[in-house]
Structures are given as structure tokens and as C-alpha cells.
């Protein structure tokens, strides 16, 4: 469920409605990028163990000197970890690298190791999820979720575990709205987070998207981020340029139903 400023997870935890993503931001740049994001009003920061920048992300949060409870921090379990006991060790490493007492949202990064994309790791996901449920029950993680999970991947957790995932973080952008998966998540009160809302930059030169952005007097990036919110998903834009970091949060406009229909009809630019 979303308001203009926050989504409310099914356990009542509030999550700011735009996150700052740090994928592909190297460790030495992550500190400056996160600091710039915090300076310009972002209060939701997304990282992952596999991004290899948790230490600098954590340092930026710590040195910005906001109360810890004012920042929503997400990280992710490495996709290759599918063993119950290994989850606890991995969590402690992430928590230590971030230098925090708790993590607001922790996700299983993918249902399979990245070098075995599409392989069946159902049992491993169930074991990892049960370990995450324990960490959640101990108060070490405020909310737990998944990333890159299909309907069947999520259904396996629903059938074998106690807690419904609070979040599914997936690639979602104009041209790739994952309609069936989005509907499934909405039916189970799972918030969908939209990573790569600009299709890793490939939307920026799309003629129809550019034309609509001009109509609204906004940038293509702003239109793409607004689109995600209009579809009731939580966008995670990223940039290392402060001007774009500022711009990506300035989306106080709405897209008409007619123009949403046009955007929904666009084909995936990354096919």
C-alpha cells in the first residue's frame, strides 16, 4: 500500500517511496553518491553484499549524522547462499560491514546463483528464507523480502514458510511492466520495488518516451520514475551525479491515464 511519501509493508513498516540504488557504484564512489543522496532528501538507501560497497554505504550513513531510525537501509543476501546456517554468517558480515545494529530490509538477491540463472534452487530458497524469518523474529531485520523471484519462486515460500515476503525487487520499467508478476505480488500484499527504472539508461533516447517527457516539461528519467510510482511500484534510481540525484527525486507531477496507456503499450527496449 502506498501514499505519496511511503509504502507500508504488510507488517506495518513504512518505507520511503523512492530509494537510492547503489548497484554498479564502486566502493570508492559509493560514499560520495550516498552522501549526495542523503543531502538531497533521500532517506531510503539500497545496497547488497554482492555490490561490494557496503562499507562505504554504511560510512556515508553514519557520518551524515542523521538518527539511524530516519534512514531506511536495504541490503541483500548473496544469491549463491542457499544454506540455512550460512545465512546467519552472511547477515553478520553485512551488518558488520554496514556498521549498523539492524537492517531495515534484507532480501534474497535472486532465486539462483547468478552463474546458474534459471536453475532450480527451491529447497535452498526455503532454507534461506527460514533463516531470515529467524533473524526477523530476533529483531535484527525489520522486514524481509526477495529479489528477482517469479510467481512460482514466491509460491514455494508461501507453501513452506511462515512469513509472506514483504517485498519483491525486480527489473521494472516502461516497456517491461511484468504484469502477471505485479498482479501476483499485489494479491499477496507484497510491495514491488522497481530496479533499473530507466532500463539501465536505454530509455533515455526512446522517441515516444522523450516526446511525452517534453509534454510534461520533465526529463525522461523523471517520467520513467513517475511511471513506476503510477504503477504502484517503488523505484530505485541511481546516479553518481548530484544534479541527476536531485532531479530524480523531483517528480511532483502525475501522468494522465491516456499517457499511461501509451507508456504501457511500449515494447521492451532491452529485448
Catalytically active residues are: 51
Alpha-carbon gap, residue 137 to 38, rounded angstroms: 29
**CA gyration radius, the chain:** 18
* Residues 99, 89 contacting (CB under 8 angstroms): no
Residue 75 corresponds to which cell in the numbers above? 541490503
Residue matched to cell numbers 514455494: 156
Relative to beta strand 234-236, strand 191-195 is parallel
Alpha-carbon gap, residue 64 to 157, rounded angstroms: 37
User: 100-126 in b/e burial notation, b at 16+ Cβ within 10 A?
Assistant: bebbbbbbbbbbbbeeeeeeebbebbb
Residue 269 Rama label (left phi>0; alpha psi -120 to 50; beta): alpha
Residue 74 corresponds to which cell in the numbers above? 536495504
Amino acid at each position: 500500500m502506498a501514499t505519496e511519501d511511503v509504502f507500508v509493508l504488510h507488517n506495518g513498516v513504512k518505507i520511503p517511496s523512492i530509494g537510492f540504488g547503489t548497484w554498479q557504484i564502486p566502493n570508492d564512489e559509493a560514499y560520495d553518491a550516498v552522501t549526495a543522496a542523503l543531502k538531497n532528501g533521500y532517506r531510503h538507501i539500497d545496497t547488497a553484499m554482492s555490490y561490494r560497497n557496503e562499507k562505504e554505504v554504511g560510512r556515508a550513513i553514519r557520518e551524515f549524522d542523521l538518527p539511524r531510525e530516519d534512514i531506511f537501509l536495504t541490503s541483500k543476501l548473496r544469491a549463491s547462499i542457499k544454506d540455512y546456517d550460512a545465512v546467519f554468517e552472511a547477515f553478520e558480515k553485512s551488518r558488520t560491514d554496514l556498521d549498523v545494529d539492524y537492517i531495515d530490509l534484507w532480501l534474497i538477491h535472486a532465486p539462483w546463483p547468478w552463474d546458474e540463472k534459471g536453475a532450480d534452487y527451491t529447497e535452498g530458497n526455503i532454507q534461506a528464507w527460514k533463516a531470515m524469518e529467524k533473524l526477523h523474529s530476533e529483531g535484527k531485520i525489520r522486514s524481509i523480502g526477495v529479489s528477482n523471484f517469479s510467481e512460482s519462486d514466491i509460491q514455494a515460500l508461501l507453501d513452506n514458510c511462515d512469513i509472506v515476503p514483504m517485498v519483491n525487487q525486480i527489473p521494472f520499467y516502461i516497456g517491461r511492466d511484468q504484469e502477471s508478476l505485479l498482479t501476483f505480488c499485489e494479491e499477496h500484499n507484497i510491495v514491488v520495488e522497481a530496479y533499473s527504472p530507466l532500463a539501465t539508461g536505454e530509455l533515455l533516447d526512446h522517441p515516444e518516451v522523450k516526446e511525452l517527457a517534453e509534454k510534461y516539461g520533465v526529463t525522461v528519467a523523471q517520467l520513467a520514475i513517475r511511471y513506476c510510482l503510477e504503477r504502484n511500484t517503488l523505484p530505485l534510481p541511481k546516479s553518481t551525479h548530484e544534479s541527476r540525484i536531485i532531479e530524480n527525486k523531483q517528480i511532483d507531477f502525475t501522468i494522465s491515464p491516456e499517457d499511461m496507456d501509451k507508456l504501457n503499450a511500449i515494447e521492451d527496449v532491452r529485448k
